[in-house]
Structure 1
Amino acid sequence: MSRLATRFAQLESQQRKALVSYVMAGDPHPEVTVPLLHQMVEAGVDIVELGLPFSDPMADGPVIALAAERALAGGTNTLDALNMVKEFRQKDQETPVVLMGYLNPVEVIGYEKFVEYAHDCGVDGVLLVDLPPEEAQEFDEVLNKYGMNQIFLLAPTSTPERIQFVANQASGFIYYVSLKGVTGAATLDVAEAAARIQQIKAVTTVPVGVGFGISDAASAKTMGAAADAVIVGSAFVKQFASLAPEQAVIATVNKVKELRAALDELV
């Protein structure tokens, strides 16, 4: 079993929901990332989603776009992010790590070289925002060769046919985007999102995670009632835009504890 499958099975046996945290690799500087990940896991994160900094993050709102700018300005590139996973694995061999990024840097490195090194560093899955499943077969074959999962997105605008297609291709988990727009958007239609999650779960046994717009205990708990995992990014990342790194780490860990407590009320 993969680390992702093992983690979801563990949580299901405990009737608990997965808390997935998004962190931009190298934000605000490289030395912060790995210690932050360890502290977030200790505070209650179940799955780490590590952002690969990219200069044109079209699906991301201003909070994560600025985080990518800070990371790039600090010198972090895609290979540096993979090395952060390698360092993380020196202490933690159990927490799944999924990379989230864009196709261009991966193509520059080459599918085989990227996936082989990601696997060697301890990465469990990859979500490339701008690689739709219709065009992902070649990348998927390389991931399968190394026992890694490819994560795909579904959105409020996805048709039933699209949902079925993605469900057939998916492994690890499906990432349901609960808002029309970019990451960190403010308005969350809880009823619509819950209905769509049920629609997805009706056609697949792959776990469904929900992200975009989840920023506090109330929204995490509401979405956690419908999904298998709650994915939080901007609410963590924005701490580094307004606070010194040491204070931002403390605020982020406290936010993890708040969200973990809310999800555990669902047990």
Structure 2
Amino acid sequence: MEPESDDVSNIHNRFSLTLVNPGSHYFSLAASLGVGVVIVLTTYFGYLNNLNIEEFWYKIPLVLGVMAVMQLLDIKFAKKKEYSKSLHSSLFGNMLWVVTILMGLLASVVLSKDTSLFFITFGMILFASFRIGLYTTTLGASLKKALAIAFIQPLAMFLVLIPQELWISMLSNPIALGYGGSFLIIAIAWSVITDRAGRPGMKSTHKTIQAYLASQSNDVDDAEKLMEEHATETKVATSQIKFSSQDGTKEFKMILPEIHPGPY
């Protein structure tokens, strides 16, 4: 026997399409897969000058498959184990990578120069740098853990995307490593500085951000713990308003504290 659905559920079912928005994990999943396809096609058409799609078509399912597996693996490292946040972070990171690749093509056209594989490697390192900032800020990972997992998804995608004979030359490109390394250092410094920005009043800015984001999905445990850390005991007076029927058989009392008990 199917459970009866209430009016709110009926409205949600009727307008379920409107729930697919830029903040939806469905949108992020579809968009990240689409960006993955663009990365493969741009790499082979624009950088490797391979116009025969029959020779590299299998790279598309390989890259998308690795991306999907890494998105599932990323859940293990997030504090709240939320698949939606893993998808959002994957989408933004891959968008940063594909923008870097496309800018490399645009630069070669504007400057009338040959395309450089530097942009693919550099974009991959930018992807990893972005993950460091994202994991430490919103996903609740420590800086050490973020550094350990930053390269997992971008490097795995890179290895299935690029032909094996180009791995060493691209990953040892001193210019790409130099520019990419500078962004890694910036990401690390940014994570440390922003986490300490609220001191001494706020012990950890990142924990406050994470607690706020969790509270938006009705998970208020972290927010309550943060408030308890700064809470002090005090006496609060209360007032009572008494309501009763004319014959006195029914009675109702409303208790009013002199301060609001809090948002949660």
Give the alignment's TM-score, normalised by structure 2. Answer: 0.20
Specify which structure has the bigger relative contact order, considering alpha-carbon pairs within 8 angstroms and separated by 6 or more residues: 1
The structure whose residues are more often strand, as a share, is 1
The structure whose residues are more often helix, as a share, is 2
